[in-house]
Amino acid sequence: MLKKVLIANRGEIAVRIVRACAEMGIRSVAIYTEPDRYALHVKRADEAYSLGADPLAGYLDPLRIVNLALETGCDAIHPGYGFLSENATFARLCEEKGVTFIGPKSNVIHAMGDKTQARDSMRAAGVPITPGSDGNLDSVEQALELAEQFGYPVMIKATSGGGGRGIRRCDTPEELRQQYPRVISEATKAFGSADVFLEKCIVNPRHIEVQILADSHGNVVHLYERDCSIQRRNQKLIEIAPSPQLTPEQREYVGSLAVRAAAAVGYENAGTVEFLLTGNEVYFMEMNTRVQVEHTITEQITGVDIVREQLRVAAGLPLSYRQEDIHYRGFALQFRINAEDPKNDFLPSFGRITHYYAPGGPGVRVDTAIYTGYEIPPYFDSMCLKLICWALTWEEVIARGKRALDDMRLRGIKTTGTYYQQILSHEDFERGVFDTSFVPTHPELLNYSEKRHPSEIALVLAAAIAAHAGS
């Protein structure tokens, strides 16, 4: 078994990994840059080491992180998500230096990170893919020819893209001419590669992803699906497990496709296979070669500790479960509570948290790294916590989600919490009927007013009385 793990990440996912290590008797090592000196993952890990003053450079320096792991006696590195988690060079460096990378092999990360290579692998494995270019585009003229063949709308995508970046929808030849150089520019800046490809745009699909686990002994299982259709500009907001929109036959089908996809590329560790569904058609979109932000809801419905399985697999142990051992129960929702102002085009709202109270009760889980007095730095992702709710039925999980969102107190910054309450109250969401167009086609849900809870009013009155008494 692993003895000491360096966590090459920050925030709530770093805290999540620290907890899993503690339960398994594994020592944890945190890293941080100056803005994170007082971060929760630094406080919770067994050891913590500074990577300097630059907010981002340390988290993105593969050689420095691997050398630090060696210097501190770590036998493994967990990359979390984001940062270097899907960086094949980082994984390869770990392999060369004799440090276990808690994730798939570097060649698999490279193959799945290259969107055109991933499409080729899936096509060969018999996994359906969306119509698109065979390989990268050579010119805008080639893109125009293919778009005419497939029919508009089409998507121009960065081959090495991810996180909703390096993607543009084009509805006309004129838009395609305009967006082609923009995607190339964005891809070059964000991912260091100018390669792009073209794909038929599936209009208003359901976004369904399947969690898989695989070990080095040839075992591959799926943990059922998550519905990620509630999103804005390709960024997920609310995730659901399992999808209330799939039939048992569809559920079995996408699960089998995900297992086939993972087996075809020799995958090991945790990963996610993402699909687009329209009608009865299913298309492979991409594979995420890491733990997902929304792994929490899969854990809630299956009882499988995904991070624990990651650590076991990395140590060379077989999976704890066979496919026939895995069942799901009830429904789970995850709300990404972002430090953003929904009423101001979701503008980031970084700053000091003046008051934080986490919701609780049956079926409520919070994964976070914030606390009262914590200063949310402006250098990283705006997500400040993940609120997860579980219940036996769809109706009950919606009611529990509303209650938990109402219970939460997070002051000093703007958040997306109240906006999510509006979504939960919409009749289409309540009926479990929605696709990726839900957020953009319901702008009226932003017309809400922030209400003050009686407890907050009492606090304000108490502060005013105290100030008056002291004057």
Catalytic residues: 290
Q: How far is CA 401 from CA 326, 387, 420, in A?
A: 25, 9, 9
Consecutive H or E run containing 67: helix 62-71
C-alpha dihedral over 353, 358, 359, 364, to 10 degrees?
A: 130
Q: How far is CA 403 from CA 226, 232, 397, in A?
A: 22, 24, 10
Could you check whether the bond before residue 35 is cis, i.e. omega within 30 degrees of 0?
A: no
What's the token pair of residue 235?
């960024």
Consecutive H or E run containing 466: helix 454-469
Contact, 9 vs 82, CB < 8 A? yes
d(Cα 466, Cα 202) in Å, to the nearest integer?
60
> For residues 158-188, b (16+ Cβ closer than 10 Å) or e, as one string?
bbbbbeebbbbebeeeebbeebbeebbebbb
d(Cα 152, Cα 172) in Å, to the nearest integer?
7
d(Cα 363, Cα 175) in Å, to the nearest integer?
47
Consecutive H or E run containing 409: strand 409-411
* Cα R_g (the chain), whole angstroms: 23
Cβ burial of 301 (10 Å; 0-12, 13-18, 19+) is buried
